[in-house]
Amino acid sequence: MTRHEDEALVATPAGDQAILDAQTDLPPEADQPVHARDHGENLPDDDGAAPSADPSAEGRATVADADADADADADADADPDLGPAGAHVVDDEADAAVVEGDEAEAEVDGAEVEAEADVELWDDGEPDDETDGRRNVRRTAPAVGLALTRAASWARNVVRRRPRTHPLVEAVAALPEAGPDLLVALDIDGTILHHDTTLSPRVAESVAALRDTGAHVMLATGRSVFATVPVARRLGLTSRYAISSNGAVTVRLDEEAEGGFELDHVVTFDPEPALRALHQAIPDGVFAVEDVGTGFRLSSPFPPGELGGEWELVDLEDLCSREVTRLTVRAAHLDAHTFQEAVHSAGMQSVTYAIGWSSWVDVAPEGISKATALERVRDLLGVDRAATVGAGDGSNDVEMLSWAGLGVAMGGARPEVKSYARTEVAPVEADGLADLLDLLAAPR
């Protein structure tokens, strides 16, 4: 049996018998052994000896007990990046592979496979009475053929395309390069700062790197302006806009101004209806109203560090006496579920409210959110809406995540918050924000 270099023997259930039949007509020149190779390696005999004749049937060839599957599995164990017939797989995921190699070439269309395979033949030199002196042939072609069949099946499952990228990378690629045409709004607690208020050095560096590109990096938080300014200073985000009180207060940060800021835009509302409804639902709660530019009036003290500015303890009637930018209720003695039920039962009308991680709710003027304030700032800066990014983790961030051209939720956010975002990053504890900022700052 002769073979051209560009031929490939592929064994199929029917093809095995056809090859067996063909072996009975091998010409005399097949006496000399020709090495068989699979994946570029020799296929050794089990015991190194020539096969014996099989007198049970005339013209029957004895098939070597060569296990092609075991051979292929051994190759795979040695190098998981090698596919059948020595093909190299460049694979970033199981369903994204590109095949390269001289001995196997896989293509999606037609799943063509080209491979080298030789046939090894032996003559035991002993005549067989029943076969009238015909040589018993040890044939390894079926083993090679099975390996090639395996390669063909594997090749048909290969998908030749570009490696799939993370949705965040694709989304960032659609944004303009970092600079004055990009606006990035960042929540503070649970996004920039850990829940214990610590700041990761890596996040701080990433904020600074993006800021230095000239991009409009700004804070958008539920904190009062007095609690926002210290964070802005730590991050070097001065001399720019910042949004506080969940969108009710917009300031222009300025280190030369008193307190480090100047009021740019303020929205107030009458807190009395919501305050009385909440007081009835949570009579033992702690209530506070924000007087912008001054601080808070409180029914009872809040824990240190939770509210900035000056404090003044007053009664319920005083809390209801004039318009404010924010109403806050805290009930640390209630679990989150009981607190949420109590807030919802209050049936507040004509206000916007967001429940925090703990038993805490912020009430803002109706229709006011971080998104409404950011839209105003975006217009002032002349940034295209599609070139905006918002990152946050709380229920007071959902409007911002929906508004932004690219809304990014933190990995620790609740599922209902993530549903408003286009994509997400790792939790704040894993510096997920830095991953986003580094991509935004990178040249494209």
Higher pLDDT, 98 or 414: 414
> Is there a common fold for 167-267+368-441 and 272-364?
no
Strands, E, within 111-245: which ranges? 138-139, 183-186, 216-219, 241-244
Specify the pLDDT at position 270: 95
Specify the pLDDT at position 143: 65
Residues 6+ apart with CB under 8 A from 343: 278, 281, 282, 329, 353, 355, 361
Model pTM? 0.63
pLDDT at 119 over 60: no
Residues forming a β-bridge with 266: 249
The band of 103, judged by pLDDT with boundaries at 50, 70 and 90, is very low
Q: What is the mean pLDDT of residues 84-91?
A: 37
- The sheet carrying 351-355 orders its strands as 310-313, 295-298, 286-291, 326-330, 360-365, 351-355
The band of 94, judged by pLDDT with boundaries at 50, 70 and 90, is very low
DSSP code of residue 60: P
What's the whole-number average pLDDT of the chain?
75
Specify the pLDDT at position 360: 85
What tens digit of pLDDT does each residue of 129-183 get? Answer: 444 444 444 455 566 667 777 766 665 565 444 445 578 999 999 999 999 999 9
What tens digit of pLDDT does each residue of 312-364 get? Answer: 999 999 999 999 999 999 998 888 888 888 888 888 866 677 766 568 888 98
pLDDT at 102 over 80: no
Specify the pLDDT at position 72: 42
Q: Six-digit token pair at 363? A: 């009430």
Sequence ranges of the domains in the chain:
13-156, 167-267+368-441, 272-364
The CATH number of the structural domain formed by 272-364 is: 3.30.1240.10
Specify the pLDDT at position 133: 45
Specify the pLDDT at position 165: 59
Q: How many residues does the chain have?
A: 444
Specify the pLDDT at position 356: 65
What tens digit of pLDDT does each residue of 293-326 get? Answer: 889 999 999 888 788 788 999 999 999 999 999 9
Specify the pLDDT at position 154: 62
Specify the pLDDT at position 120: 39
Quick one: what percent of the chain has pLDDT higher than 90?
Answer: 50
Q: Give φ, ψ of 138 to 5 degrees.
A: -90, 120
Query: Domain 167-267+368-441 falls in which CATH fold?
Result: Rossmann fold (3.40.50)
What tens digit of pLDDT does each residue of 221-273 get? Answer: 999 999 999 999 999 999 999 999 999 999 999 999 999 999 999 999 999 99
What tens digit of pLDDT does each residue of 14-44 get? Answer: 444 443 444 444 444 444 433 333 333 333 4
